[in-house]
Structure 1
Amino acid sequence: MVDRAPKGETLREIADRHGRSYDTVRKQWARHPDWPAPIGKRGRWHVYDSAAVDRVIGEHFARPAVQLQPRRLYTAQQLEEAGAGITAGTIRADLSRGRWPQPDSTDDGVNRWYGTTATAALAQRRSYKRSVDGTLG
């Protein structure tokens, strides 16, 4: 039997490959005006060209990695201002929920993280671009 299904990915496969929820891909990404048209169907599911999908995600949805000084201490506000792609409020909320690392310094009652700590925490969050060797940037 010859497999006549078009090459490419379904929305669910795209979501799995990019570490995002199916609903995010279906309700947000796939509704973007630059989202590629389906190249066919596999069963009842539309199939999309992987390269075209990756291009749209890279241009519109992937957040560029921020360059932080490794040994400098940053407050949540300074991380936001440095372009970390996350607000200070989200950092504080995630810290209280155990989704952000404990501060490296709490001198004067102010939470501060080394650039290396913040970079590692940001790497655990989704949609940050990675270089060829797997590091952020």
Structure 2
Amino acid sequence: YERSRPTVKRWATHPDWPEPTGKRGRWNTYPASAVAAWVEEHVKYPTVQLDPKGWFTAQDIEDANVGVKAGSIRSDLSRGRWPEPDAQTREGAGLWKGQTVKDVLEKRRRYPTR
């Protein structure tokens, strides 16, 4: 899952984390299918269902329920963690193509909620 050992150890404290099936040395082992299901439910973003050729504001992206808030987009944009808008509205609001949003969300990490 391309995460550090401390991150996975933190995941393992989540109440829904699968039960260990044994040990390898001092480390617990878990069924791969149960871990994959947990990651799918708690860590991965939902598949982006935006028209790849459509244009979307930060609020449109939030309203599409893709797992990121408009405020987070604006914050990440100011920190260089979100791409610059592909265009702007007449009022100056950023517009991103659906494909741009899909590409950035596929690389973005999601943090488990309790």
1:54-95 CA distance string (max 9 Å, x none): 122223433311210112110001100001101111111111
**What is the total number of aligned residue pairs between the two structures?**
109
Q: Which position in structure 1 is the counterpart of 2:103?
A: 120
**Please, which runs of 5 or more residues in structure 1 have no aligned partner?**
1-17, 128-137
Aligned to 2:36: 54
Q: How far apart in 2 are the matches of 1:112 and 1:57?
A: 31
Considering only CA atoms, is the larger Rg found in Structure 1 or Structure 2?
1
Q: What's the C-alpha RMSD, in Å, of the aligned pairs?
A: 1.7
Conserved in 1, the CA contact under 8 Å of 2:58 and 2:73? yes
1:106 corresponds to 2:88? yes
Tell me the distance in 2 between the aligned counterparts of 1:59 and 1:70: 24
1:8 aligns to what?
Answer: none
Normalised to the residue count of structure 2, the TM-score between the two structures is: 0.82
Contact 1:95 1:101 in 2 (8 A): yes
How much identity, in percent, do the aligned residues show?
50
Higher RCO (CA < 8 A, seq sep 6+): 2
Q: 1:60 to 1:97 in 2, by over 3 A?
A: closer
1:92-134 Cα offsets, whole Å, 9 max, x none, are 111111111110112321111011111111111135xxxxxxx
Q: Structure 1 segments of 4 or more deviating over 4 A?
A: none
Compute the TM-score of the two structures, normalised by the length of structure 1: 0.70
